[in-house]
Structure 1
């Protein structure tokens, strides 16, 4: 049925193409959804001096969309050319997201190697792991490069211009965060060209939604700007009787009060109501002695269309993010910035895990909890001064800053329910109202305050050398009913960039960071607990080169950190050292005039050391593939007259299921195909798209960790966008 739907829609695209071809031949081209990068490089041509002055990514409506990205918008390297950035950064621009029909962070980040998910269903939330390190849901996700937003429900991207992933240690700018990386989502903003766009979309599972995108500059001198986005959708899934709804409303506002003073305000509200599909608890080891050794026998990946959780088990999230910013140009070379934001998230969550499964019959027991009142808040303040000065022949770019992030987690009342019988192979329908709740546990709230001062100097030694040196003073306090502790330390950063040519560079960096070692995952005895801070250290060396319309990158990295894992008592602990070492490469951009390409791959050897347990030392870090990568290409030749074809292949290698490597989740590959058609109808641009994911219907485990969830089967998505 899904294949027929895809074929029918492709036929519709072709028919519409030929019916409009004669009209389009003499018409002006449709408004493009081009990305204007912060520098304008290759998108309008600004010079290097202007690059550092600009800070926004807007839709220009005048250039062809591109997969290529040249400027970083995340961290202390904000507005820095990629060629001058001594770290691995994956940038996923709007043109790429549109071509793939992406609807969430999981769709976007599948284009970056080494990304897996852990312990929660991708239908309800995204618990990402990068380079074998879990991303903290409260510190590792940022809005417009600064505000830490709370990733306890899927972050929408309809109002985002691009998604970035700064991989590795990021302590200088962001303070306490795991060395997995920082995901930065950049909002759409008003630009010189008006934007009025309406979209309708859906999929073969019964999803359907609609949204709008309106952007304008106004005022006597276009000193005001507003970009408003809205979206609402019914969510259908391949899983029987698992569906939901979601809403998004956002605004990005700009005011150029004077030539020197500007203000920005970003606000977004999104809500998602979903059913929990249910996961499979990692089986116990057969033949283990005192929790060590033995073998874990995994069940075959179940039919992903079968619901294991009780019917209508709720998983609901509400999120509000607001951040305001003021920028003041003190002189031509010096500027100041003040920023304050609040991110708040509320979640109602049901956990439904199927355990004690008889692999012959599929019989097991569903156990779990319901937590109706999870509430989290981040309050973030940042003050910065930046400027340029010379010391003899050396040109300096100096950044001085102060930040304070206050994280609050309210008390939570968690209700357990009596286990009910369920079958992995032939699931029963279990009414949610039939569950018998027994005990209510109070999970005490906590307050974490991360205060820091930082300085970074980027010293240009002639045209070829860039020396980077920086440090952050960290003052971190945690207070809860269980315990209080405080940490003060200094974390250094050092880097060197050598420009081989104006379009190629080599780099090396050393960075130290402080991290909480993550949050104990669901299903563990201390689920939700934030572990003590530990020091992480990273060395990275690599190079970049622009070739035509594409950017090529190659990097080697070595990370040492406190080892966090689930021990034999099912408690998430920090013990020993994890060493993550690997190589990552990518090619991104227009490799030919009519071919856009993103190729990326990673080899990662992540091992455990010094745990004191012979069953762990030398074993792979759990849920970490040694090999991973993806290829996505779009073919858009002129002779097809607005038709573009695309295909993507995404590979994840095998992963250790747990710390002792007593079982491995098999490697898997998924294939995606898509097509789009752009034309002009009565002077307005019309874009039709169809995308099919996992077209081979591959069965695989989408998550690792203590709870396993099956990946989704073949799905066909389609959309129509009208640009007025």
Structure 2
């Protein structure tokens, strides 16, 4: 890497750090007094008193010109007041979407598949990690790992990129190579399909957006204790206040510290986090926000199992091992930490035009031990466990975005436009992988006292990626029922890494959609998206580990229908067709882009309260995926690895009328069989997991107290939880999760 490139990166690093510091100082230290009237009390998007609480409430993120029953359309400089209610979301159905170009829109007006997991659903399930949330979303499955340390995910059969597919508040890309807490999230949204028109260079599987909790109109002070049947124990706090003149300041702080005992004997560690969401209504026109999240974890990663070499085109998989037995030394943990900061400013010029600016940084660090069990005898289980020591891993994302939103008329037509630009810098420094091996038995593991170090090591050379884009979205209301949208993005992508050919790619990509309201509560839509996207990066097991693959163009068509039934029940059906340049690990163990895959499917979801006192979240997906082009003819017509034909989920909670405060729930989650590689030389079986739980809320000395128990993998099923990247993973055993919360 040249000194010029190093210097350029250093200057950008200092510039963005300075801007972040300035934003924080400005948000906390003050911009001086203002004589303009304060905003009416509003609840930020995603809080328990936000737009989700009332169908007539308008989100803070709603753009000018968007229809809302709460918008009085009055002239003047003061923003429209927002209706506040103290009730929670009715059932599990969302009212609005807070991801990408759809921020603030009614779900019925979104011409794409966006699945929202609400806070109520997270609470009912006792969600403690990211997969706990997104398992409620059709087409989401685990990839490569069992989720003990972090959640590798795929959507619609396509693996998400841990460095570019996960976002905080729809604006800041964060690295997903660490456990993601749910205690400080108000909702989790999955925007499926090609999303690069707004987010830039990323895989066409979609975007996972985690929306932070914010202070609403009601103060919050809660203390929780938690534990599980494995022996884990911890505590969490959630504090929120609005303060200052006219409650113009808001602060919400969440924190948790937990000693973790996993369902695997001898595997223990910790996870902890602290987060803060601060906002300041500087004036009737200007609002500032600052978000901070810091996470720390320690855990021993269970070994993935490498499929053996195929014989006559068939791989023989081992018998299912005991999921409670650790295959690796319990004194070789992975330490990880992540710090994310986001500063955002929103300014309203008038009733029709506004602008926003955001700047953020996310840094994840790991000293990692990654393990693979390989070269084994299927009958006896005797083989070799290989550990890769990777100290000094770092993933850094820096992101800047600015956009202007507004509406205007051309004759009888109303245009709602978004014009913006974004730039993201991704940096990963050098690190070296040292390899160790030991003899182990898959079926009867032994304690490993000694590791043998390999004479060779593998160097990873620093990566620099710059992803820039300018975009325009124009939504045109042709009638009160009919909307069309056209969009275009100019993208520039550059990357450099020693020993790897650099990239410098420019492309202009279009998209379009049409939405029609059949009735006030039913809409249909059709969309086409073409985008410069990423096929992802090479897995750690490949000879070119972590190499970012060349940019490619994906194309997607989708049609769908949504309806909102009584009980605020949202029903969605979508039919999609996605064509993506595909990557595979070839016979030289090099992960390369050399083909094309087609993903075609039908999705269904229902969220809400279809019956009084019963809240439901259900989803299902049928997926027909196959490789249509490849340099290897044996892959043609085959199903891409780790791609199930069918996934389904059903979760229901019943609030018992005879005993106020008591709720019982149950769920099932089905994932169909998946191929272990693109040649379909072996398949892991499908499985159904069952959950159960109960919650009871009452008042003790005037304080609200709740107790909760959730049973995961209720039948203690043994199953293969994931495939992909030349590994398969064993699912975790049964766990009872317990918690109790008191609100002061």
Does TM, normalized by the shorter one, top 0.5? yes
1:7-48 CA deviation, whole Å, 9 max, x = no partner?
xxxxxxxxxxxxxxxxxxxxxxxxxx9833436543768971
Deviation at 1:265, TM superposition (A): 0.3
Per the alignment, residue 238 of structure 2 pairs with 213
Distance across 2 between alignment mates of 1:123 and 1:56 = 45
1:363-417 CA deviation, whole Å, 9 max, x = no partner?
0011231001101111100001010101111111110001000001111121122
Counterpart mapping for 1:359-398 below 5 A: 359-398=378-417
Distance across 2 between alignment mates of 1:77 and 1:496 = 14
Q: Secondary structure at the match of 1:610?
A: strand
Distance across 2 between alignment mates of 1:407 and 1:35 = 33
Do residues 448 (structure 1) and 465 (structure 2) align?
yes
Deviation at 1:310, TM superposition (A): 2.2
Do residues 466 (structure 1) and 490 (structure 2) align?
no
Q: Is the 8 A contact 1:324 1:341 kept in 2?
A: yes
Distance across 1 between alignment mates of 2:573 and 2:534 = 29
Per the alignment, residue 11 of structure 1 pairs with none
Q: Select between 344-353 and 179-188 the one with higher mean Cα deviation.
A: 344-353
Deviation at 1:132, TM superposition (A): 1.0
Distance across 1 between alignment mates of 2:50 and 2:248 = 20
Per the alignment, residue 257 of structure 1 pairs with 282
Distance across 1 between alignment mates of 2:637 and 2:662 = 52
Given candidates 528, 531, 545, the residue that maps to 2:563 is 545
Q: Is the 8 A contact 2:490 2:506 kept in 1?
A: yes
Given candidates 337, 342, 352, the residue that maps to 2:356 is 337
Per the alignment, residue 519 of structure 1 pairs with 537
Distance across 1 between alignment mates of 2:159 and 2:50 = 30
Deviation at 1:441, TM superposition (A): 2.5
Per the alignment, residue 246 of structure 1 pairs with 271
Do residues 68 (structure 1) and 93 (structure 2) align?
yes
Per the alignment, residue 641 of structure 1 pairs with 660
Per the alignment, residue 12 of structure 2 pairs with none
User: Structure 1 residues 379 and 50, CA, compared in 2 at 3 Å: closer, same or farther?
Assistant: farther
Given candidates 218, 222, 236, the residue that maps to 2:261 is 236
Do residues 272 (structure 1) and 292 (structure 2) align?
no
Distance across 1 between alignment mates of 2:555 and 2:163 = 21
1:619-648 CA deviation, whole Å, 9 max, x = no partner?
111100001100000000322211101000
Per the alignment, residue 630 of structure 2 pairs with 611
Per the alignment, residue 227 of structure 1 pairs with 252
Per the alignment, residue 718 of structure 1 pairs with 738
Q: Is the 8 A contact 1:119 1:522 kept in 2?
A: no
User: Structure 1 residues 213 and 715, CA, compared in 2 at 3 Å: closer, same or farther?
Assistant: same
User: Structure 1 residues 570 and 212, CA, compared in 2 at 3 Å: closer, same or farther?
Assistant: same
Counterpart mapping for 1:535-574 below 5 A: 535-548=553-566, 549-574=568-593
Q: Is the 8 A contact 1:470 1:494 kept in 2?
A: yes
Distance across 2 between alignment mates of 1:323 and 1:54 = 24
Deviation at 1:243, TM superposition (A): 1.1
Counterpart mapping for 1:158-237 below 5 A: 158-237=183-262
Q: Is the 8 A contact 2:53 2:86 kept in 1?
A: no
Deviation at 1:360, TM superposition (A): 1.0
Counterpart mapping for 1:395-410 below 5 A: 395-410=414-429
Given candidates 468, 476, 479, the residue that maps to 2:493 is 476
User: Structure 1 residues 64 and 85, CA, compared in 2 at 3 Å: closer, same or farther?
Assistant: closer
1:435-481 CA deviation, whole Å, 9 max, x = no partner?
43533332101110001000000111111101011011001110111
Deviation at 1:149, TM superposition (A): 0.6
User: Structure 1 residues 45 and 254, CA, compared in 2 at 3 Å: closer, same or farther?
Assistant: closer
Per the alignment, residue 129 of structure 2 pairs with 104
Given candidates 37, 43, 49, the residue that maps to 1:36 is 49
Q: Select between 168-177 and 523-532 the one with higher mean Cα deviation.
A: 523-532
Per the alignment, residue 126 of structure 1 pairs with 151
Distance across 2 between alignment mates of 1:153 and 1:56 = 39
Do residues 489 (structure 1) and 502 (structure 2) align?
no
Q: Select between 607-616 and 471-480 the one with higher mean Cα deviation.
A: 607-616
Q: Is the 8 A contact 1:520 1:526 kept in 2?
A: yes
Task: Note the aligned Cα RMSD (angstroms).
Answer: 2.0
Q: Is the 8 A contact 1:339 1:381 kept in 2?
A: yes
Per the alignment, residue 631 of structure 1 pairs with 650
Q: Select between 340-349 and 518-527 the one with higher mean Cα deviation.
A: 518-527
Per the alignment, residue 82 of structure 1 pairs with 107
Counterpart mapping for 1:621-700 below 5 A: 621-700=640-719
Q: Secondary structure at the match of 2:323?
A: coil
Deviation at 1:524, TM superposition (A): 1.6
User: Structure 1 residues 128 and 58, CA, compared in 2 at 3 Å: closer, same or farther?
Assistant: farther
Q: Is the 8 A contact 1:364 1:424 kept in 2?
A: yes
Deviation at 1:529, TM superposition (A): 1.2
Deviation at 1:525, TM superposition (A): 1.4
Distance across 2 between alignment mates of 1:55 and 1:584 = 37
1:202-256 CA deviation, whole Å, 9 max, x = no partner?
1101111101000000012111000011100011111111111011001000000
Q: Is the 8 A contact 2:58 2:104 kept in 1?
A: no
Q: Is the 8 A contact 2:144 2:729 kept in 1?
A: yes
Q: Is the 8 A contact 1:58 1:189 kept in 2?
A: no
Q: Select between 568-577 and 491-500 the one with higher mean Cα deviation.
A: 568-577
Distance across 2 between alignment mates of 1:504 and 1:536 = 30
Distance across 2 between alignment mates of 1:561 and 1:301 = 33
List gaps (5 residues or longer) in structure 1: 1-32, 288-293
Q: Select between 503-512 and 107-116 the one with higher mean Cα deviation.
A: 107-116
User: Structure 1 residues 445 and 64, CA, compared in 2 at 3 Å: closer, same or farther?
Assistant: closer
Q: Secondary structure at the match of 1:107?
A: helix
User: Structure 1 residues 109 and 54, CA, compared in 2 at 3 Å: closer, same or farther?
Assistant: farther
User: Structure 1 residues 336 and 49, CA, compared in 2 at 3 Å: closer, same or farther?
Assistant: farther
Distance across 2 between alignment mates of 1:701 and 1:646 = 25
Q: Secondary structure at the match of 1:389?
A: strand
Given candidates 599, 615, 622, the residue that maps to 1:596 is 615
Deviation at 1:573, TM superposition (A): 1.3
User: Structure 1 residues 266 and 628, CA, compared in 2 at 3 Å: closer, same or farther?
Assistant: same
List gaps (5 residues or longer) in structure 2: 1-45, 60-66
User: Structure 1 residues 60 and 237, CA, compared in 2 at 3 Å: closer, same or farther?
Assistant: farther
User: Structure 1 residues 99 and 39, CA, compared in 2 at 3 Å: closer, same or farther?
Assistant: closer
Counterpart mapping for 1:428-447 below 5 A: 428-431=446-449, 434-447=451-464
Q: Is the 8 A contact 1:460 1:466 kept in 2?
A: yes
Per the alignment, residue 348 of structure 1 pairs with 367
Q: Is the 8 A contact 1:59 1:188 kept in 2?
A: no
User: Structure 1 residues 57 and 647, CA, compared in 2 at 3 Å: closer, same or farther?
Assistant: farther
Distance across 1 between alignment mates of 2:86 and 2:226 = 22
Q: Secondary structure at the match of 1:129?
A: strand
Do residues 510 (structure 1) and 528 (structure 2) align?
yes
Given candidates 94, 118, 129, the residue that maps to 2:119 is 94
Q: Secondary structure at the match of 1:283?
A: coil
